[in-house]
Amino acid sequence: MAEAKHRSFSFQRVFALTVNTLIELTRQKVFYVLLIFALLLIGSSIFMARLTFQQEFQILKDVSLGAMSIFTSLLAIVATARLIPQDIEDRTIYTILAKPVPRFEYVLGKLAGVLLLLAIGTLVMSAMFLVVLYTREQTVLHETLRQMSAAPREQVDDALRAVRSSALNLDILPGVAVIYLKACLLAALTLFVSTFATTNIFTMVVMVFIYFIGHLQATAREYWLQEQSAGWITHALLAFVALLFPDLQTFNLVDDIVAGAAIPFALFAKTAALGIFYTTIYTLLAALVFYGKEL
């Protein structure tokens, strides 16, 4: 019987690693703790504010999307930081790499597992959020109809339109997609950091710093490119921040979506492309460093 030819890249091997990573991650308590916390926050936001319907919807959306953003970012960092050190500690990495599995496939499979977990988490939270928002919207619509039963048709229509425009709008969906892309970027970056880090605690600490600096990158970049009066040390430092760190502020579209701003498709597409670009680059860099890592 002829031996199957070994391929330099196999989707099947990557898929097997992805599924395995996903199963491993879902067995970790941290995933459930974070998910339950986020779901509780989204669910309880319905009781947080008994204000006017505009205020209520605004707070509900802010809290829910904020919870999704926190959960996905935290999970991306915490789950990814543990991947390689855990495999080294459990010695499973030796079993895998002793087989004809290229290191790039290992890195890709591991990251894909995290991205899949993040996708599941985002979908569950989005479903919960949309159910809560829809339920509240229907309640407010019924209340409005009841209160305005004697009002002229035009006024009722205006009031219903105001309720609908404050509640569910389709712009929320690109906002959720961008939250997910930001989490993907953070996961890829964490994987890159973890390839040269010695412990997962170190990776997490570094990622927390990167998270904060990434949100200030845009300010540093603009100052570096526009301000000529600053000294060369300041310039060099700003250039370092602008070139080395991703601009995480770009991915915070939900703040403006919740405020009622419409997101142009071009902006969404470019933001998504930038997110995919960052994720790809950091994954390739992680693979490059991992190839040279002594195990």
Partner 1 sequence: MIRFLLVLVIVLVVGAAKLPIERELSAIHRQEHFRGIEFNLDLREQLGQLGFIAALSGFRSIVADVLFIQAHVAWERTEWSRVLLLFRQVTTLQPRAILFWDMGAWHMAWNASVAAMNDRSQPRFALRIKAQREYFAIGKDFLERGIKNNPERPQLYESLARLYKEKYQDHARASEFFAKAAAIPGASSYDKRFSAYELSYCDGRERGAYQRLRQLYDAGENERLPTLITRLKFLENKLNIAQDQRIPDPGP
> Judged by CB, which is closer to partner 1: 22, or 274?
274
Q: Convert residues 42-61 into a mask of x (bound to partner 1 by CB under 8 A) and - (unbound).
A: -------x-x--xx--xx--
> Rounded to whole angstroms, what are the CA distances from 293 to 40, 82, 196, 277, 288?
41, 17, 8, 24, 9
Restricted to residues 233-272, the positions that interact with partner 1 (CB under 8 A) are: 242-244, 246-256, 258-261, 264, 266-267, 270-271
203 lies in the site for partner 1, by CB under 8 A: no
> Rounded to whole angstroms, what are the CA distances from 250 to 216, 272, 278?
10, 10, 12
CA dist., res. 287 & res. 166, Å (int): 45
* Contact yes or no for 39/93 (Cβ under 8 A): no
CA dist., res. 283 & res. 106, Å (int): 11
- Pick from 119, 216, 237, 272 the residue near partner 1 by CB under 8 A: 216
> Judged by CB, which is closer to partner 1: 44, or 95?
44
> Judged by CB, which is closer to partner 1: 215, or 235?
215
* Contact yes or no for 261/166 (Cβ under 8 A): no
- Pick from 21, 69, 80, 200 the residue near partner 1 by CB under 8 A: 69
Region class of 246: left (phi > 0), else alpha (psi between -120 and 50), else beta: beta
- The residues that touch partner 1, with contacts defined as CB under 8 A, are 49, 51, 54-55, 58-59, 62-63, 65-66, 69-70, 152, 154, 158, 165, 211-212, 215-219, 221-222, 225, 242-244, 246-256, 258-261, 264, 266-267, 270-271, 273-274, 277-278, 281, 285, 288-289, 291-292
